[in-house]
Amino acid sequence: MRITALQHDIVWEDRDATLSHLEPLIAQAAAGAPDLLLLTEMFATGFSMETHRTAEHLDGPIVAWLGAQARAHDTVLAGSLALSADDGEDGALPTNTLVAVAPEGLIARYDKIHPFSYAGEHERFGAGRDPVSIEVAGARVGLSVCYDLRFADLYWDRDPAVDVEVVVANWPAARRHHWRALLDARAIENQCFVVGVNRVGTGGGLEYAGDSRVTDPLGEVLVAAAGQEQQIDVEVDPATVAGIRGRFPFRDDRRPRRPA
C-alpha cells in the first residue's frame, strides 16, 4: 500500500482559495499513484472556531470537492473539516470530522473524540464517540485527528489488526517536539506504522512548522518533512507489521483496562 501525505498551507477561513491552491499539489502528488492521499486537519479553512462560517454538511462543497479529486486521480483522499450536526437536535454542535472519500464516494467518517479544550474547541465542536478504521489496498488504517494523538488509549482500544495509524493535524510550532515524540510513541507501543501530516504557514495567529513524518513499527523515522509545503511518501506492507508483532509480542502483555 502506498500512502502520500501532503503537507500544505491553508488560506485562513477561505475555503475556495485553499481548494484552488491544493488542486495542483494534489495532481502532482497523485502522479505517484498513491492508494491513500492525506490532507491535514480542517484542510480547507484552518483550525477556526468560527463554525458559523466554516461548517458544512456531508453533501456540501468540501466533501463534493474531495469526491471530484478522488475520481480524477483514482485514489482515496482524506482530510478533516468542520461538519455540521445532522441529527436535527437544536443547538447540536458541529464535529471536527475526518472523512475518507474514494472514487466511488464516501467510505468513512471519524468524528474527533478529543476536542482541544485548551483552545476552546469543546465549546464549538462536539466530541465523537467511536474509533474508526478502514481498509485501503489490503491494509487496515486507523483514523485520528491532531489532539487525539495525546491519548494512547484511543489507539489501544482500536481494532488490534490496524497496520497503520494516520493522524491529520494543525499542530502549532510551539509544541512541535510533542508532536514528533508522540507520533513515534504511538508507533512503538502499537507496533504499527504511523503517518502524521501537519500543516505549514500561519493561521489564526499561530505558526505551524509541518514536521510531517512516517514512523515504522520499531520506532524508526522513515521520512520526515521540513517546514515548507511538500509531500512525503511511504510504502506500507501489512506483512511487515505482522512479522514485527510476531517476533516481539509485547502487546500480549498489555493489561486489560479497568472498567470505568
Alpha helices in the chain (DSSP H): 15-30, 51-54, 61-73, 121-124, 152-156, 176-190, 238-247
Close Cβ partners of 198 (under 8 Å, ≥ 6 residues apart): 7, 40, 169, 170, 171, 179, 208, 209, 210, 211, 212
Kindly state the cell numbers that stand for 176.
Answer: 512541535
What pLDDT score does 158 carry? Answer: 82
pLDDT digits (tens, 9 = 90+) for 70-83: 999 999 999 999 99
What pLDDT score does 255 carry? Answer: 79
How far apart are the C-alpha atoms of 74 and 104, rounded to whole Å? Answer: 9
pLDDT digits (tens, 9 = 90+) for 120-165: 999 999 999 999 999 999 999 999 999 999 999 999 988 788 999 9
Residue 101: pLDDT band by 50, 70, 90 thresholds? very high
What pLDDT score does 254 carry? Answer: 84
Indicate whether 258 pLDDT > 70: no
Q: What is the DSSP letter of 172?
A: B
How far apart are the C-alpha atoms of 93 and 70, rounded to whole Å? Answer: 28
Indicate whether 248 pLDDT > 70: yes
What pLDDT score does 89 carry? Answer: 56
What pLDDT score does 90 carry? Answer: 53
Residue 48: pLDDT band by 50, 70, 90 thresholds? very high
How far apart are the C-alpha atoms of 85 and 106, rounded to whole Å? Answer: 17
Q: Write the Ramachandran bin of 232: left for phi over 0, alpha for psi from -120 to 50, otherwise beta.
A: beta
Task: List residues with catalytic annotation.
Answer: 41, 112, 146
Given a contact cutoff of 8 angstroms between Cβ atoms, the answer to whether 141 and 135 are in contact is yes
Domains and CATH numbers, the chain: 2-250 (3.60.110.10)
Q: What is the mean pLDDT of the chain?
A: 95
Beta bridge partners of 241: none
How far apart are the C-alpha atoms of 78 and 38, rounded to whole Å? Answer: 5
